[in-house]
Amino acid sequence: MVDLHLRENAACGECRAPHLHVCHRPGNPNRAEAKSKHPWRVEHGIVTGGLIKRVSPAMVHTYFEYLTTEYPRGAGHGMLLVQLHGADTGQPWAPVGARRMLGRAGKRAGLGIVKPHAFRHSFTSAVLDAANGNLLIARDAGGWASAAMVDEVYGHVDVHDPVFDAALRTIWGETK
């Protein structure tokens, strides 16, 4: 949880807004490891470096509500997602636990199979649309390695865009 800097002007000084640091850590108790391997360190209990990602106000609210109402007291491992019931209460979830939970929730909601990676794709598409196609904003918001990758995977024109329509009509020799 030391990677979560969920307040303005956190002590790391690397982002003014609430954010988190994605840090590759071999040896986590739940065996989870971030794919990104940006350099990071802990100094005086403060994480710096890693891949810095801003967080939404809704995430901050949900985090504090979860910690104050559900998170088991005394879980000394620092992992955020933990087993809330049963013999392993307080133990960190392994990545497979999160995937299985989302799968069950998707089936119950009638959505079919829901995979965690789909969130990254839907988020990037939404940011790209909201940023009017700005690949750099979508790259940084989604934590992608390159804008070219975002363009190759998500770059698409809105077929209803008036500029797109006008371009086609010009090529077709039509006037609007």
For residue range 54-84, what is the model confidence (pLDDT) as tens digits?
999 999 999 999 999 999 888 888 888 898 8
- Residue (of 157, 135, 132) closest to 146 by Cα position: 135
State the amino acid at position 111 in one-letter form.
Answer: L
pTM: 0.72
Category of 137 on φ-ψ map: left (φ > 0), alpha (ψ -120 to 50) or beta: alpha
Average pLDDT over residues 133-150: 90
pLDDT at 47 over 90: yes
Q: What is the pLDDT of residues 92-139, one digit of tens each?
A: 988 888 888 899 999 999 998 888 888 888 899 899 889 988 999 999
Instruction: Report the pLDDT value the prediction gives residue 176, as an integer from 0 to 100.
Output: 57
